[in-house]
Amino acid sequence: MVIVLLFGLLIGRLYNLQVANDSQYVSISDQNRIRLLYTTAKRGEIYDANGMVLATSTPVFTVSLMPAEIEDAEALAEVLVPLLADAEITTETVVEALQSQSRSYEPVVLKRYPYEEGLLIVTRLEEMRESLPGVVIAEEPMRYYPLGSLAGHLIGYVGKLSKDEKGLITEYNYQLNDWLGKSGLEATMERLEVDGTEIGLRGTRGLERVEVNSKSRPVRTISSQDPVPGNSYVLTIDAEVQAVMEQSLADMVAQVQRNYPKCRVASAVLLNVKTGAVIAMASHPGLDPNDFANGLSQEKADYYFNNEDRPLLNRAYSGSYPPGSTFKVATAAAILASGQIDPNETVVCSPSNWPYPRAKCPSSHGTVDMTKALALSCNTYFQEMAYRIGIDRFYSSCYELGLGQLTGIELTNEVAGLLPNPKWKEETFKDDPWEYTWRDYDTFYMSIGQGYNLVTPLQLANCVATIANGGDLLKPYLVQTITDAEGNVVYEAQRQVTNHLTLDEEGLEKLRAGMHAVIEPGGTASSVFRNFPIQVAGKTGTAQTGIQGDNDQEDFHGVFVAFAPYEDPEVAFACVVEYGHRGGTTAGVVCREVLNAYFKLDASPLPDWLPESSE
């Protein structure tokens, strides 16, 4: 009877397991033997205009933990931590990582290792596989930038999904361990959609259903779905010209620092005047996206986030500055467009014509017309003529040149600068009974680029491009074409006109001639472009910073704009060297080197010392 009773209990237990709760235990069994492995997709590659690789992927090994398969986190950590021999990974960090994972079916990535280093670690872990339940080793792509910091601000960088971005998990099917674009094109082109189709840089992850044995070793692949790489991008950037621009900015900042220690940052832009394509855009100090590709070290984090020079900021389109005398180009366009002023009409520049509240002129230029006023950067002429046409006409033409508004380039955090007018002043100073009203001095100082007006280097370059190409304000762009994984072109950039300057060709030619006079003998930039192989048209600027605490007699930003060649313009340039003092001999020198690289010239080097001129 004892035997019968024991067999009865056994049969009852077997019935309970195999019949009554069959589906539950089958499910548990399947979960124990079948593991779902997601395969990370490669991000799309990024190329310069000539096919040079700017961003790609390199294979790495990841060591991850599956929370659902781990019963004793501390026991596992005590075995795993010595094998990894990584100062950043301790028993406490392993336990904390597992506890913080709310989605137990998703792996927790502990570390990504470069391929060669990873091979050694993988070997050690596989030898101890039986003591490491829930440890998953996988090979996946990691973002890599072969040219380092070149165009780093434009390309941007990637980072892990943050707590603030968890909404992307449900909205766009991300996972907690995913890496995504955080800045630059990496961010704006992460999930780009055109006509309802996603053509961004991120790909589609793959999925494998793998059978494992009791020791968590793979036995066979039940099914698999290959990952689909992201789309690849060809940019308008010329990497060789970009490299020259970045190096020239760095060299100029270092040179100016010897006499003006405040000079630490600078930025520049080179545009195609006929299409709006960005050929080069740089901001100094630079940014190396590789620093972020596998997580920032503390040293790098301090450099990027605790640095008063703000290396993460792309000043070329996110930095706004007083334009100084480079704004006289826009003022001249407004004067010509008004139809109220004969461009051959003259003004006498002498101390007797500088009554308060007009700004003084750096020199007494005598009798000047528009061409001479641009060449010599005469404050007196532009103040008088801007006053005559009135602020409404003045503002309208400047707006047609794209000032005071976003350009629409495919990057985040662009700033619009500031183009003031009476309405703006009323809204801004509504509690100030004096400043509330637009005064004559507002027009005077705005006309010479030292009023409330602020610009970005990108806006300045686009303004000059509009004058050079016949009056079309174009939308600048960085992405020329996008291709899918099969090589099909799914997007191609087109020239986009966003506004048009109300000025006939005769007036534009008069304005371009004035800018050309700036480069000719006697002009404020003649020393920089003496004997240059091609004809250039430009405008210098020495802008008071407007920053509280700065000395308005010593602290100036160096600003320069240009287009070239003068006879048949191809490119427009703008540069700001913060605390660069003189625009012609600082930003102008950067322009010379960039144009020399773009046109593949062999211009003779400049002397170590250049004469300064009033700007």
The per-residue DSSP string of 390-428 comes to: -HHHHHHHHHHTTTTS----S-SS----B---HHHHHHH
Residue 252 has pLDDT above 70, yes or no: yes
Sequence length of the chain is: 615
One-letter identity of residue 103: R
543 beta partners:
557
Residue 63, token pair as written in the block: 């060591």
- Least confident interval from 32-36, 78-82, 430-434: 32-36
Angle between helices 457-468 and 328-338 (to 10 degrees): 40
Best CA proximity match to 580, nearest among 520, 540, 538, 608: 540
Q: Name the residue among 193, 190, 215, 216 with its Cα closest to residue 203.
A: 190
What pLDDT, on a 0 to 100 scale, did the predictor assign at position 265?
Answer: 97
Mean pLDDT across the chain? 91
* Block residue for tokens 């400047």: 398
Quick check: 306 pLDDT over 80? yes
Place of tokens 């030292």: 450
pLDDT higher at 118 or 421: 421
Q: Which residue did the predictor score with more confidence, 517 or 608?
A: 517
Choose the catalytic residue: 57, 216, 318, 325.
Answer: 325
What value does the CA radius of gyration of the chain take, rounded to a whole number of Å? 32
Task: Give the confidence band of 308 by pLDDT, cuts at 50, 70, 90.
Answer: very high
Given a cut of 60, is residue 212 above it in pLDDT? yes
Q: What is residue 21's predicted lDDT score, i.e. its pLDDT? A: 66
Handedness of CA 327, 247, 50, 492 (dihedral sign): negative
Please give the average per-residue pLDDT across 323-350, as a whole number: 96
Determine the average pLDDT of the residues in 529-545: 94
Q: Which of 85-89, 298-302, 312-316, 548-552 has the highest mean pLDDT?
A: 312-316
User: Contacts by 226-229 with C-beta closer than 8 Å and gap 24+?
Assistant: 226/39, 227/39, 227/40, 227/41, 227/42, 227/203, 228/41, 228/203, 228/204, 228/485, 229/41, 229/42, 229/43, 229/44, 229/203, 229/485
- pLDDT tens-place string over residues 140-163: 999 999 999 999 999 999 999 888
Decide if pLDDT at 221 tops 90.
no
Selection from 374, 381, 329, 379 nearest residue 520 by Cα: 374
pLDDT tens sequence across 280-292: 999 999 999 999 9
> CA–CA separation, 473 vs 466, rounded Å?
5
End-to-end CA distance of the chain: 114
Least confident of 119-133, 142-156, 320-334: 119-133
Cα–Cα nearest to 464, from 389, 539, 405: 539
Above 60 in pLDDT, residue 27?
no
396 flagged as catalytic: no
Give the whole-angstrom CA distance, residue 539 versus residue 258: 25
Dihedral pair phi/psi, residue 551, rounded to 5°: -85, 115
Q: What is the pLDDT of residue 71?
A: 81
Please name which of 102, 79, 103 lies closest in space to residue 91, comparing C-alpha atoms: 79
Nearest one of 364, 400, 363, 358 to 383, comparing CA atoms: 358
The stretch 183-209 carries a mean pLDDT of: 91
Q: What pLDDT, on a 0 to 100 scale, did the predictor assign at position 615?
A: 67
Does the pLDDT at position 180 exceed 60? yes
Tokens in use for 170? 């449900």
Residue 220 buriedness (CB in 10 A; 0-12 / 13-18 / 19+): exposed
Tokens of 376: 């010599």
pLDDT the model gives residue 602? 87
What are the distances in angstroms from CA 7 to CA 11, 13, 17, 22, 168? 6, 10, 15, 20, 56
pLDDT given at position 231: 97
Q: What is the pLDDT of residue 253?
A: 97
For every residue of 349-375, which 3-state class applies, written as one string?
ECHHHCCCCCCCCCCCCEEECHHHHHH
* Type and span of the H or E element at 239: helix 239-257
The pLDDT-based confidence of 210 (bands split at 50, 70, 90) is: confident
Name the E strands within 21-100: 34-39, 46-47, 53-65
- The DSSP annotation for 488-530 comes to -EEEE----EEEE-S--HHHHHHHHHHHHHHHSTTSTTTTTST
Residue range 53-64, pLDDT digits in tens: 999 999 999 888
Q: Is residue 314's pLDDT more than 80? A: yes
Q: Which amino acid is at 117?
A: E
Does pLDDT of 32 surpass 70? no
Cα–Cα distance, 179 to 344 (Å, whole number)? 61
Element (H, E) at 229: none
Specify whether the CB–CB gap between 207 and 35 falls below 8 A. Answer: no
User: What digits encode the pLDDT tens for the residues 349-404?
Assistant: 999 989 999 999 988 999 999 999 999 999 999 999 999 999 999 999 999 999 99
List, for residues 450-477, the tens digit of each pLDDT value.
999 999 999 999 999 999 999 999 999 9
Higher pLDDT, 19 or 407: 407
